Copies of this chain bind each other. A is one copy, B any other.
Amino acid sequence: MSCDKEQELILNCRGNLENLLRRRFFVIPSFEIYGGVAGLFDYGPPGCALKAEIEGLWRKHFILHEDMLEISATCLTPYSALKASGHVDRFTDFMITDTKTNDYYRADKVLEEYAANRLSKNSNNPPKSEAERSELELIIIQAGSYNSDEIRRCLDKYSILSPSGAEWSNPCPFNLMFKTKIGPKQSEDDGKCNTGFLRPETAQGIFVNFRRLLDYNGKKLPFAAAQIGLGFRNEIAPRNGLLRVREFQMAEIEHFVHPERKNHPKFFIVENLCLPLYPRSSQLNNTNVIKNMTLKEAVHGPNKVIDNETLAYFLARSHLFFKSIGINIGGLRFRQHLETEMAHYASDCWDAEILTSYGWIECAGHADRSCYDLIQHSKSAKVDLLASERYDEPQIRPFVKLLLNRPLIGKTFKQEAPKVIEVLQDIANKCDMSVEEALKREGSYNLNYKYCSDHTKYKWEITREMVNFELTSKRVTEEHFIPAVIEPSFGIGRIIYCVLEHSFRIRDDESLNQVNGEKINVNKDIQTSIGEMQRCYLSIPPIIAPIKCSILPISSNIIFNDIINIIRDECIGMGISCKLDTSSASIGRRYARTDEIGIPFGITVDFQTIKDNTVTLRERDTMKQVRLHSSEVVKIISELSYQKLIWSDVLKMYPLFTQQDE
C-alpha cells in the first residue's frame, strides 16, 4: 500500500472513531450548545466510566502495589508557591500573532508544521539540499526549546507567513497558567497579594506537603507520594481534540530518594524486561532507531542510557501498566529528552510515547527532577525540607569551619553583607576549599555568580581579612539532606484517547456473516442494516471496560423480567457494571450497540432460559457464545473481568451456542 493510501486509511479510521465517540457520548466538546470552548471536553457515561476504570487500575498498579502515600491537594494555588517553583516566571509558550487577523498561534507549532509540510512526500517545496533537509528535521525536534530570537530567525530565514499570508509578529512569552483572585481583596499591585492560579501540575501540592508526608512515613526514606487530580493549562491555540486540552486529569508520583543512592530494592524484578528505548543519541543522529534493551543493560551495561535504577524501575512499571490497558506494545516507546528539552535541574527524563493517527504522543513523563523543587520551596517558605538518615556507626566527615570578620564585611558590603555571608557559608557547607586557597595565594577573591544558587548576578571582592576557612572534621551519627525526586507523571485524558484508538476495530464483512465461525446465509437487507451498525467496535480490555456486561432479553416479552432483575441485582451486588437493553431492536443490532461502547460480555436471556434457567454468554471480539446456567454467569464474568479466567477457558468449560436468534 502506498504511504498516501495508508495515511488516508488512518485518517478515515480516526474520523470513524471520533464520530463514534461523539455519537455514543464518550467525549464531546464542553458547552456544545453554546458553540463549545476550545480545549475543553466533557466525558459522557461510557467515557466517564472508562476514566474511572483507568484511574482505578492506575491506583492499584502504582499506589497500592508500591505502598505509595496518596494525597489530594487543591487546584487553587497561591502566587507564592508557584513563584517558588518557577512557574510564574518560566511556565510559558512563545506566542506569535498573524498581523492581519490578530489570531494567536503557538510559535513552536507553526515552525514544526512548516518543517513537516516541507518534508512531507507530496510537498510542493521540498528541501533543496541534504543540508536543508537536516535543518528542517532539527526544527521538528528542537522548536519546542527555541528562545525568542531563535524563533524570529527561523521565521525570517524561511520567510514563513501566516495562514492569511501576512507577516508574523515577534514572538512573546505567554504564561500558560489560569490566573484568578482568591478572596475579595482588590489589591493594587497585581503581582502577589491574593493572586492565585489554577495548578499547572499536581506535583507542587506534594512538594509543599513534603514534611507532613515524611512524618507520616515514620521519617523514613525512600517513599513515594501520589496524586490523581486536575491540572490546567491555558493553551494558546488548542487543537488535536483530546490531546491538547486546557483542563485535564493527571496522575503523578513523586518518589523521594537520597540524591546519591537512587538504586531501587525491586529493580531485580524488572531487570530482564526488554523495553523499546529511543535514547538521545538515536534522535540526534536521526537514525530513528528504537533500541530494545533490557533494563539491566540500560542502567548497568557498557551502553548505559538510563541514569539510575529507580527511574528504570518506573519505566518498567509504566510499560506493564500500558500493556494491561490494551496499548499495542508495538506502538509504545520510551523517548529520552534531549539536553535542550530538559529543565536545567533535571538529570534525566524519559517520555512514554504512544503511536496514534496524530503521530507519537507523550502520555507519561518520567523525570529525575533532582532536589530542585524542595530546595526552591525550602528557600521561599524559609522552612527546612530535609530528610535524615542515621548511620549504623558514627562516621568521621570533613568539616569546614567558617571564621568571619563580621564588622569588616558589614562595613564593606552594607545591606548586601548578609547575602555575602550566606554565600560564604554555602561554600563552607560544601567543604569547598578553593576560595581559601585563592585567598592564601592572592589575598583577595572575586566571588561570582556561580556560587549563588538563585542565579543572581553579582560580583563581590572578598579579602583575606574578611574570612578564613578552616578544614577540620566532625563525628556524625546521621546525615541530613534534601531528597531528590523522581517523577512519573501521567496524562489520563491522553491515555484514554490512545486506549480508544488502539482498541478501535472495524469488522471485516466476512465476520458479520458468521456465527461462531460458521458461515450462514443472511438476508441481504438485514446484512446491510446490521452491517453498518456493526462495522465499528471497541476492543477495550475487560479489566478497564466502562461496562462489563450487557443483559439482553431476546424479546421485550415480560416473562423475562424476573430473571433479568435477578441477574442485574447479582451484578450490582458483585460490583459488575451492567447495561440492560430491553428495547425492541433486533438482538443483532443490540449486540452491535454494546460492541460499539466496548462492553466485553453479553448475557442473553431467551425462551430456553424460561425452561431451564440457562442463558447465553457472548464475547465481544470473537462474537462466540456459550450456554450456561444463569446462576453461574455473573461469577464467570467477574472472573473474566479481573483476569482470573480468559475466554478460551470458558470456551472449554461450556458448550458453544450456535443458534441464530434474530
A interface residues with partner B (beta carbon < 8 Å): 24-25, 28, 30-34, 37-38, 40-45, 47-49, 51, 60, 64-65, 67, 69-78, 80-81, 95, 104, 174, 178-185, 196, 198, 205, 208-209, 211-213, 215-216, 218, 230, 232, 234-236, 246-247, 377, 380-381, 383, 385, 572, 575, 577, 580, 583
Contact yes or no, A212 B25, CB < 8 A: yes
Indicate which residue in B37, B211, B377 contacts A182 across the interface (CB closer than 8 Å): B37
Instruction: Report A615 CB to chain B, min CB distance, Å.
Output: 20
CA distance A74 to B34 in the complex (A): 14
Instruction: Report A57 CB to chain B, min CB distance, Å.
Output: 12
Contact yes or no, B76 A40, CB < 8 A: yes
Contact yes or no, A38 B71, CB < 8 A: no
Indicate which residue in B49, B182, B234 contacts A184 across the interface (CB closer than 8 Å): B234
Contact yes or no, B381 A74, CB < 8 A: no
Q: A45-B70, A230-B230, A247-B76 are in contact. Are A381 and B184 (CB under 8 A)?
A: no
CA distance A572 to B66 in the complex (A): 10
CA distance A37 to B74 in the complex (A): 11
Indicate which residue in B32, B48, B184 contacts A95 across the interface (CB closer than 8 Å): B184
Q: A34-B381, A180-B198, A234-B181 are in contact. Are A246 and B76 (CB under 8 A)?
A: yes
Which chain B residue has the least Cβ–Cβ distance from A37?
Answer: B78
Contact yes or no, A230 B75, CB < 8 A: yes
Contact yes or no, A41 B74, CB < 8 A: yes
Which chain B residue has the least Cβ–Cβ distance from A248?
Answer: B74
For A51, what are the chain B residues with a Cβ–Cβ distance below 8 Å?
72
Contact yes or no, A234 B183, CB < 8 A: yes
CA distance A67 to B569 in the complex (A): 12
Contact yes or no, B208 A34, CB < 8 A: yes
For A247, what are the chain B residues with a Cβ–Cβ distance below 8 Å?
74-76
Indicate which residue in B64, B71, B184 contacts A43 across the interface (CB closer than 8 Å): B71
Contact yes or no, A45 B69, CB < 8 A: yes
Contact yes or no, B34 A78, CB < 8 A: yes
Instruction: Report A474 CB to chain B, min CB distance, Å.
Output: 28
Contact yes or no, A71 B95, CB < 8 A: no
Contact yes or no, B183 A44, CB < 8 A: no
A/B interface sample: 11 pairs, CB < 8 A? A25-B213, A31-B80, A32-B208, A34-B381, A37-B78, A42-B71, A51-B72, A64-B572, A75-B75, A76-B232, A182-B246
CA distance A24 to B33 in the complex (A): 46
Instruction: Report A177 CB to chain B, min CB distance, Å.
Output: 9
For A67, what are the chain B residues with a Cβ–Cβ distance below 8 Å?
580
Instruction: Report A32 CB to chain B, min CB distance, Å.
Output: 7
Contact yes or no, A42 B74, CB < 8 A: yes
Contact yes or no, B583 A218, CB < 8 A: yes
For A232, what are the chain B residues with a Cβ–Cβ distance below 8 Å?
76
For A218, what are the chain B residues with a Cβ–Cβ distance below 8 Å?
583
For A45, what are the chain B residues with a Cβ–Cβ distance below 8 Å?
69-71, 216
CA distance A71 to B26 in the complex (A): 9
Contact yes or no, A33 B234, CB < 8 A: no
CA distance A43 to B206 in the complex (A): 11
For A213, what are the chain B residues with a Cβ–Cβ distance below 8 Å?
25, 44
For A179, what are the chain B residues with a Cβ–Cβ distance below 8 Å?
180-181
Indicate which residue in B25, B34, B74, B178 contacts A181 across the interface (CB closer than 8 Å): B178
CA distance A230 to B72 in the complex (A): 12
CA distance A71 to B49 in the complex (A): 8
CA distance A69 to B26 in the complex (A): 12
Which chain B residue has the least Cβ–Cβ distance from A36?
Answer: B78
Which chain B residue has the least Cβ–Cβ distance from A215?
Answer: B25
Which chain B residue has the least Cβ–Cβ distance from A378?
Answer: B33
CA distance A95 to B381 in the complex (A): 32
Contact yes or no, B28 A209, CB < 8 A: yes
CA distance A414 to B650 in the complex (A): 76
CA distance A168 to B51 in the complex (A): 50
CA distance A72 to B232 in the complex (A): 16
For A69, what are the chain B residues with a Cβ–Cβ distance below 8 Å?
44-45
Q: A49-B70, A184-B95, A184-B104 are in contact. Are A212 and B81 (CB under 8 A)?
A: no
Which chain B residue has the least Cβ–Cβ distance from A179?
Answer: B180
Instruction: Report A103 CB to chain B, min CB distance, Å.
Output: 9
For A377, what are the chain B residues with a Cβ–Cβ distance below 8 Å?
33
CA distance A396 to B95 in the complex (A): 63
